[in-house]
Structure 1
């Protein structure tokens, strides 16, 4: 091969490598950009992946009521697993787990996934929501204990049940205080006295002379005097 042909081949190879490198960087950057989402706490241990984990409190930090843990659980293993417990280190209030329907443990089927939080899904309720609300705007450690994998720990954002999180927040929200029924300023007082009756009809003192068919003695006396 001549020297000029050799130089041309080397130049062409350099151009191909340059284009390949740029394409790889572009694809890699795009892929990483697509994977970055705000408040998207996730981790993977063995065949279990916990994604989109969050602690959702009442809409207002000072409001009393429960808080919840929300997450999507993927089970990529060949056997189903149950979520035995969910704990929040530093928060004394326990987390009550309930399946989407019925009672019993929360089960993640093999090669499938479940959602915790939101209507029609499994739930993880923190009864004393104010304990979790102390970290609103920050992060909170969450420990998911699975029947086979064991503990899976990650840090999740603590957010109020507003905007996007409103549909996944506590189902029990504080109700506005009811206004007391307004009572009338005064009630009419009973009459101070009731009319008295001095006697029944036909009895002395009632203004009637007696039996209306019998002339009174005074009328008889007047007639006799006229004669």
Structure 2
């Protein structure tokens, strides 16, 4: 196991309980999140503190989006917005989406905001293959409206176990075609006959009508002549 993978495994174990605690916390001046002690590296710039940052990939190796999950605290007197998140050294594009009903991803004054998880703001790495390898650390830059850039390293983990609630939506796998879904003959199509027998003719039976009409016309003409 590589050094980065060993380090990643230890860090992943350490942050599990911290994430579980944060998912149950709210935002505000007396939010429980303000009293949570982080189990991972914490980065603080001015009045902004970021902890439990993760890059969470698909639960199974393959294509699909990843997400950035983190908790951002603001001890200042003014609210701030998270304007962008970037992953230096990659071509990844991170799409920020506010929580339902919000206009922006805002960190309230004296409060916090959680990225990832149900009903929270999200940061989706649309080209997830650029998010890094599981077990490694990826540099992340959070750009806030007042503080500016806040840099830190985040562990890359798959959306399994405790991380599944904060991870990306799993990419649906293609389903196998159902028997008879294609290639079956259309209803009413003519059936081939057995060897030595003529095939069924859809027009059979219709051809007698013109002949009968001609006979009737001939009889009528003969009668008129007498």
**Shorter-chain TM-score: what band?**
0.5 to 0.7
* In structure 2, distance between residues paired with 1:151 and 1:122: 19
**Considering only CA atoms, is the larger Rg found in Structure 1 or Structure 2?**
1
Q: 1:38 to 1:122 in 2, by over 3 A?
A: closer
Q: CA RMSD in A?
A: 2.6
TM-score (norm 2): 0.66
Name segments (4+ residues, structure 1) moved above 6 Å.
Answer: none
Q: Distance in 2 between matches of 1:91 and 1:121?
A: 26
Cα deviation code 1:3-53 (max 9, x no counterpart): xxxxxxxxxxxxxxxxxxxxxxxxxxxxxxxxx934734222221111111
Picking from 176, 189, 204, the partner of 1:194 is 204
Per the alignment, residue 77 of structure 1 pairs with: 76
Counterpart for residue 56 of structure 2: 56
CA distance in 1, matches of 2:161, 2:136: 17
The two structures have a TM-score, normalised by structure 1, of: 0.66
Residue in 2 that maps onto 1:37: 14
Listed as ranges, the matches of 1:1-227 within 5 Å are 37-38=14-15, 40-62=40-62, 64-102=63-101, 104-132=103-131, 134-171=132-169, 173-181=170-178, 182=180, 183=182, 185-186=184-185, 188-189=189-190, 191-192=200-201, 194-195=204-205, 196-197=207-208, 198-200=211-213, 202-204=216-218
Secondary structure class of the residue paired with 2:76: coil
Q: Deviation digits for residues 77-129 of structure 1, max 9, x if unmatched? A: 12211112211111212211121134643110111111011111111111101
Indicate the SS of the match to 1:130: helix
Gaps spanning 5+ residues in structure 1: where?
1-35, 218-227
**Larger deviation, residues 53-62 vs 145-154:** 145-154
Which secondary structure state, in structure 2, belongs to the residue aligned with residue 167 of structure 1?
coil
